[in-house]
Chains A and B, each alone.
Chain A
Amino acid sequence: MREKQTLAKNMSELLRLLENDSRLSAETLALMLDKETGDIKKMIEDYQDSGVILGYKTLIDWDKVDDTHVSALIELKITPQRDRGYDHVAQKIYNYPEVESLYLMSGSFDLAVMIEGRTMREVALFVAEKLATIEDVTSTATHFVLRRYKDKGVVFGAIPTDERGNVV
């Protein structure tokens, strides 16, 4: 029982470390978690095979690279379909590469779509031509992101410096 708990703790600790920094090598992770490198590699492979780990991405502050880049949150109201609920319409939406993320929400609207685009016009056209025209979509409301302060737990714009003094 205890072994199982320890295993579960180690597994979730590994996942949390990777979620925070996917660049950590198996060697580094092994040192941090007091495990063999081979075991860590195997655990990561298992996570990938079972779909627990779905991918590795980099968090980029695009505002520093390209000042026309825009993101928007679009609220969609949907008429759910008999038997298929929201899944069918969700699939129609998430298959567009422009869709960064898609969530089914509780509250006053049904689907939240995050869109990335090169210009506001591009995003507006996508909503008007692709989303609003889907049969089961009854209304849309588009909110452009003006500034990203924090994303995935990371504060944007702040570059941390070590200002600690040398005190024993």
Chain B
Amino acid sequence: MDYSKILSSNIQSVKPSGIRKFFDLLTGMKDVVALTVGEPDFVTPWHIRVAAIESLESGKTYYTSNSGLAELREEIAKYLNRRFDLTYDGASEIVVTVGGSEAIDLTMRALIEPGDEVIVPQPAFVCYGPIAEMAHGVPVYVETKEENQFKLTADELRAAITPKTKLLVLPFPNNPTGAIMTREDLTAIAEVLKDTNIMVLSDEIYGELTYGKEHVSPASIEGMWERTIVASGFSKTYAMTGWRLGYLAAPQPLAKQMLKIHQYAIMCAPTTSQFAAVDALRNGDNDVEKMRNEYNRRRRYLVNGLRSLGIECFDPEGSFYVFPNISQFDMTSEAFCEKLLYDYKLALVPGTAFGDCGEGFVRISYAYSVEHISKALERLEQFINDKKF
């Protein structure tokens, strides 16, 4: 059978994630010190796991309502209000999803007509462009610059807008750069969007992980609530990646349509995870603070360590990644990472995994112990001392 004639041409034209190739090199190699992983190294706090276990013990193994447990949606609404000054009606403006990723997918599928343009700032997490394409949209990548702390500027946005622009993705705090957008930065973006029908997808999965400055949600900026879909989840905040639980918050007419996709495609998010999430929101503030403080110490350790090796590094203010500039080594990001991997058994992710504009950078995750990061820095120092570049 010629599957290529059977499979949809749309799905065949979507490129597989480039990073896979690099991770495949890693498999089977021994004694590699890796700073590649994009998830917390903490285990989900015990009281949250207990809440899940207790829900199973008491036989809560049924489907929940399509949009999620009412008490969870209420807790999410309260949380968004107390943390980010956002007002949503838990009953009609919040949908509990399978991870933040599903919230991104629902947004794109509900909004995009064939040929609509989706503005995606890059470097960024890999999913936005391909999901837009699968929804028959056209991603328009906008390069954020190191000299602007990898923020999206109003001018860059203005230059990317065309009559076909439907959606702007705001992936901040950012994976891989660690960039954040302040209230002033977002106000400038809001000014550009004023009087347009352009919608905003704000991916705030790292919203609790900022250091020194509080995260500001674009939806809290004047004139933005109506046009913004907030996508977030429990993975990074509460170290709950494997539970696959996220949510979207959007004005009721949008949430209502998105819920239809979720209802037919997914039914509902995992019930056990939803019970765990209720406990996380009610009793997890201290855990979040502890993890944030620990990430912050590692962040400082890593950034200071890189600088002491003479590696230029933009000061990341959010997420748990550092995105140093490696152009001084005169190698492509991929060659640099392969050299480190093969000769020094140190694994970092090439910046190009997050868009072509990531050339000249690498992503280093600090979701690792200081001891582990210190080993990695030793290997990097060895590489620099050997001057094999």
Contact A31 B301 (CB under 8 A): yes
Residues of A within 8 A of B39 (CB): 164, 167
- Of A17, A33, A167, which contacts B37 at CB under 8 A? A167
The distance in angstroms between the C-alpha atoms of A168 and B126, with both chains bound, is 8
* In the complex with contacts A32-B370, A34-B304, A168-B19 CB distance below 8 A: yes
A sample of 14 inter-chain contacts (CB < 8 A) reads A13-B297, A31-B301, A32-B297, A32-B298, A32-B301, A33-B300, A162-B41, A166-B23, A166-B36, A168-B17, A168-B38, A168-B125, A168-B126, A168-B349
The distance in angstroms between the C-alpha atoms of A126 and B265, with both chains bound, is 71
Contact A31 B305 (CB under 8 A): yes
> What mask results when residues 71 to 86 of chain B are scored 1 for a CB within 8 Å of chain A, else 0?
0000000000000000
Who on chain B is nearest to A16 by CB? B293
Contact B41 A34 (CB under 8 A): no
> What mask results when residues 151 to 165 of chain A are scored 1 for a CB within 8 Å of chain B, else 0?
000000000001011
Residues of A within 8 A of B374 (CB): 28
* In the complex with contacts A24-B370, A28-B370, A32-B370, A167-B38 CB distance below 8 A: yes
Instruction: Tell whether B249 is near chain A: CB-to-CB under 8 Å.
Output: no
The distance in angstroms between the C-alpha atoms of A17 and B298, with both chains bound, is 12
Taking Cβ atoms with an 8 Å cutoff, the residues of B that contact A are 17, 19, 23, 26, 34, 36-39, 41, 125-126, 175, 293, 297-298, 300-301, 304-305, 349, 353-354, 370, 374
Residues of A within 8 A of B38 (CB): 167-168
Interface of A is mostly: loop
Residues of B within 8 A of A33 (CB): 297, 300
Residues of A within 8 A of B34 (CB): 166
7 nearest A-B pairs in the assembled complex, by CB-CB distance: A166-B23, A32-B297, A31-B304, A31-B301, A32-B301, A164-B37, A34-B300
The distance in angstroms between the C-alpha atoms of A33 and B301, with both chains bound, is 8
The distance in angstroms between the C-alpha atoms of A167 and B36, with both chains bound, is 8
Contact B370 A166 (CB under 8 A): no
Who on chain B is nearest to A166 by CB? B23
CB distance from A150 to the nearest CB of B (A): 12
A-B Cβ contacts below 8 A, count? 44
The distance in angstroms between the C-alpha atoms of A83 and B41, with both chains bound, is 54
Contact B37 A31 (CB under 8 A): no
The distance in angstroms between the C-alpha atoms of A100 and B266, with both chains bound, is 58
Contact A168 B353 (CB under 8 A): yes
* In the complex with contacts A168-B125, A168-B349, A32-B300 CB distance below 8 A: yes
CB distance from A112 to the nearest CB of B (A): 26
Residues of B within 8 A of A17 (CB): 297
Residues of B within 8 A of A167 (CB): 37-39
Question: Considering the complex, which residues of chain A in the window 4-51 have a beta carbon less than 8 Å from any beta carbon of chain B?
Answer: 13, 17, 24, 28, 31-34
The distance in angstroms between the C-alpha atoms of A89 and B228, with both chains bound, is 70
Most B-side CB within 10 Å, residue of A17, A33, A164, A165: A164
The distance in angstroms between the C-alpha atoms of A34 and B300, with both chains bound, is 6
Residues of A within 8 A of B37 (CB): 162, 164-167
Known pairs A32-B370, A166-B37; list 9 more (Cβ under 8 Å). A13-B297, A28-B370, A32-B297, A33-B297, A34-B300, A164-B39, A166-B26, A167-B38, A168-B175
Residues of B within 8 A of A162 (CB): 37, 41
Residues of B within 8 A of A166 (CB): 19, 23, 26, 34, 36-37
Residues of B within 8 A of A28 (CB): 301, 370, 374
Residues of B within 8 A of A34 (CB): 300, 304
The distance in angstroms between the C-alpha atoms of A166 and B19, with both chains bound, is 9
CB distance from B19 to the nearest CB of A (A): 5
Residues of A within 8 A of B304 (CB): 31, 34
* In the complex with contacts A24-B370, A168-B126, A31-B300 CB distance below 8 A: yes
Who on chain A is nearest to B307 by CB? A31
Question: Considering the complex, which residues of chain A in the window 51-84 have a beta carbon less than 8 Å from any beta carbon of chain B?
Answer: none
Contact B41 A164 (CB under 8 A): yes
The distance in angstroms between the C-alpha atoms of A168 and B20, with both chains bound, is 9
Who on chain B is nearest to A24 by CB? B370
Who on chain A is nearest to B305 by CB? A31
Residues of A within 8 A of B19 (CB): 166, 168
Who on chain B is nearest to A23 by CB? B371
Residues of A within 8 A of B36 (CB): 166
The distance in angstroms between the C-alpha atoms of A145 and B17, with both chains bound, is 54
CB distance from B294 to the nearest CB of A (A): 10
CB distance from A37 to the nearest CB of B (A): 11
The distance in angstroms between the C-alpha atoms of A28 and B125, with both chains bound, is 31
